């Protein structure tokens, strides 16, 4: 008779011990329900197109019907080896990246140092410098087309006031890419400025005070104390800047249309022309995957170089 009450008593702690587990499982289910819309959106509009483009890269697809997309194997990729216009676009992309990343980082760092001052109204200047970031690329491109007009542009008008010769910014093959780089720097410097600013504000003031006591001036403090401590920020901006540089499209599409004489024909714009003007979707997909491979390899190379340099510094 005493066994069953004891057994019942032993069941009570077990049931109470299950309550946290049930509550935890319920919380996990609620969490999955919250991320379900974002996951479905990512799968539908990112994962499915990626897989479909890989499928297309092995087919010759020029119409909406799957029946008219014969399997061609690696022919699209073999054709790329001798496609001089595509590699010319890749070279233009690399050239644009090599110009835009260091110039953009230098300008944004200067802005970050400027707005890091503890002065009244500095938040207003931070907002002003950040405004181009949230402005539509199309609107920015149209504005700069007007500003860089050879005859009625404000930039050439300022050149005249300074007794400098007028420039055909967007019509000269030697100047068009540099003009696009300057436009991109003006457009995106505010974003990098915010990242730099976060890094600057994380620098311990005690180190700056110690360097000042040791007799280091402002420039030496910045070069020998601040800049080394900004290494993680620098690495982040370099990697994301290179990835963004290889994916540039909108200014070339709106401002120069790949011209003049193909001087601003970059990889993404070239792929767009192949896909949506020549309707060679399979070949364009192969080009897109080659571009992805180049970006992936360049990113791995940067990470390897950064890790190797960090290990050598430790030694």
SS3 per residue for 33-59: HHHHHHHHHHHHHHHHHHHHHHHHCCE
Cα–Cα distance between 208 and 229 in angstroms, integer?
A: 11
Asked whether residue 219 carries a pLDDT value surpassing 50, the answer given is yes
Q: Which range, 26-30, 184-188, 220-224, 275-279, is most confident? A: 184-188
Domain assignment present for residue 226? The answer is: yes
Question: Is pTM beyond 0.75 here?
Answer: yes
pLDDT at 255: 94
Instruction: Give the pLDDT confidence of 102-126 residue by residue, as tens digits.
Output: 999 999 999 999 999 888 888 888 8
Cα–Cα distance between 97 and 52 in angstroms, integer?
A: 28
Domain assignment present for residue 45? The answer is: yes
Cα–Cα distance between 38 and 30 in angstroms, integer?
A: 14
Domain assignment present for residue 65? The answer is: no
Kindly state whether residues 45 and 116 are assigned to the same domain: no
Cα–Cα distance between 241 and 244 in angstroms, integer?
A: 5
Read off the pLDDT of each residue in 60-86 and give the average, rounded to a whole number: 84
Find the domain containing 33 and state its range: 3-56
Task: Give the pair of three-digit tokens for residue 238.
Answer: 């370099």
Confidence at 22, pLDDT banded by 50, 70, 90: confident
Cα–Cα distance between 267 and 284 in angstroms, integer?
A: 10
Cα–Cα distance between 2 and 6 in angstroms, integer?
A: 6
Kindly state whether residues 136 and 31 are assigned to the same domain: no
Instruction: Give the pLDDT confidence of 37-46 residue by residue, as tens digits.
Output: 999 998 889 9
Kindly state whether residues 15 and 112 are assigned to the same domain: no
pLDDT at 310: 67
| Distance, CA of 290 to chain centre | 18
Kindly state whether residues 125 and 236 are assigned to the same domain: yes
| Distance, CA of 54 to chain centre | 22
pLDDT at 28: 83
Closest Cα partner for 286 from 5, 4, 79, 43?
Answer: 79
Asked whether residue 242 carries a pLDDT value surpassing 70, the answer given is yes
Q: Are 45 and 269 in contact (CB under 8 A)?
A: no
Asked whether residue 11 carries a pLDDT value surpassing 70, the answer given is no
pLDDT at 29: 86
Domain assignment present for residue 257? The answer is: yes
How many domains is the chain partitioned into structurally? 2
Kindly state whether residues 7 and 102 are assigned to the same domain: no
DSSP string for residues in 148-164: T-TTT-HHHHHHHHTT-
Domain assignment present for residue 217? The answer is: yes
Kindly state whether residues 235 and 196 are assigned to the same domain: yes
Kindly state whether residues 154 and 275 are assigned to the same domain: yes
Kindly state whether residues 152 and 43 are assigned to the same domain: no
pLDDT at 66: 56
Domain assignment present for residue 95? The answer is: yes
Closest Cα partner for 137 from 240, 46, 252, 244?
Answer: 252
Q: What is the mean pLDDT of the chain?
A: 87
Instruction: Give the pLDDT confidence of 244-260 residue by residue, as tens digits.
Output: 999 999 999 999 999 89
Spatial CB neighbours of 221, under 8 Å, sequence gap ≥ 6? 208, 211, 212
pLDDT at 17: 56
First to last CA, the chain: 76
More confident residue, 217 or 2: 217
Kindly state whether residues 17 and 143 are assigned to the same domain: no
Q: What is the largest CA-CA distance in the chain?
A: 111
pLDDT at 259: 87
Read off the pLDDT of each residue in 189-211 and give the average, rounded to a whole number: 91
Asked whether residue 10 carries a pLDDT value surpassing 70, the answer given is no
Instruction: Give the pLDDT confidence of 134-170 residue by residue, as tens digits.
Output: 999 999 999 999 999 888 889 989 988 998 888 888 9
Domain assignment present for residue 92? The answer is: yes
> DSSP state, 132?
G
Helix ranges, the chain (H): 3-42, 48-56, 75-81, 84-115, 122-130, 137-147, 154-161, 176-201, 205-213, 218-221, 227-229, 231-246, 250-251, 267-276, 281-314
Kindly state whether residues 91 and 128 are assigned to the same domain: yes
Read off the pLDDT of each residue in 11-22 and give the average, rounded to a whole number: 62
Asked whether residue 16 carries a pLDDT value surpassing 90, the answer given is no
pLDDT at 12: 47
Cα–Cα distance between 127 and 12 in angstroms, integer?
A: 61
- Per mean pLDDT, which range of 57-61, 214-218, 292-296, 309-313 is the poorest? 309-313
């Amino acid at each position: 008779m005493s066994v069953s009450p004891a057994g019942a008593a032993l069941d009570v702690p077990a049931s109470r011990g299950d309550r946290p587990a049930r509550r935890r499982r319920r919380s996990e289910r609620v969490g999955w329900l919250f991320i379900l819309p974002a996951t479905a959106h990512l799968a539908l509009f990112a994962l499915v197109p990626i897989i479909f483009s890989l499928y297309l890269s092995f087919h010759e697809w020029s119409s909406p019907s799957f029946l008219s997309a014969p399997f061609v194997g690696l022919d699209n990729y073999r054709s790329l080896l001798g496609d001089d216009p595509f590699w010319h676009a890749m070279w233009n992309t690399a050239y644009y990246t090599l110009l835009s990343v260091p110039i953009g980082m230098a300008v944004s760092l200067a802005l970050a140092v400027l707005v890091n001052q503890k002065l009244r109204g500095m938040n207003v200047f931070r907002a002003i410098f950040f405004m181009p970031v949230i402005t539509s690329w199309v609107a920015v491109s149209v504005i700069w087309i007007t500003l860089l007009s050879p005859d009625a542009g404000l930039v050439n008008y300022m050149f005249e006031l300074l007794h400098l010769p007028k420039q055909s910014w967007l019509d000269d093959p030697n100047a068009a890419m540099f003009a696009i780089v300057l436009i991109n720097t003006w457009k995106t410097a505010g974003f990098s400025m915010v990242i730099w600013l976060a890094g600057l504000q994380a620098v311990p003031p005690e180190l700056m005070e110690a360097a000042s006591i040791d007799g280091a001036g402002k420039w030496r403090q910045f070069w020998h104390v601040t800049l080394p401590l900004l290494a993680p920020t620098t690495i982040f901006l370099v990697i994301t800047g290179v990835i963004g540089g290889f994916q540039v499209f909108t200014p070339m599409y709106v401002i120069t249309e790949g011209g003049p004489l193909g001087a601003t024909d970059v990889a993404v714009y070239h792929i767009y022309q192949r896909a949506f003007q020549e309707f060679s979707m399979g070949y364009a997909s192969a080009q897109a995957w080659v571009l992805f491979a180049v970006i992936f390899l360049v990113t791995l190379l940067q990470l390897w170089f950064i890790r190797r340099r960090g290990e050598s510094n430790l030694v």
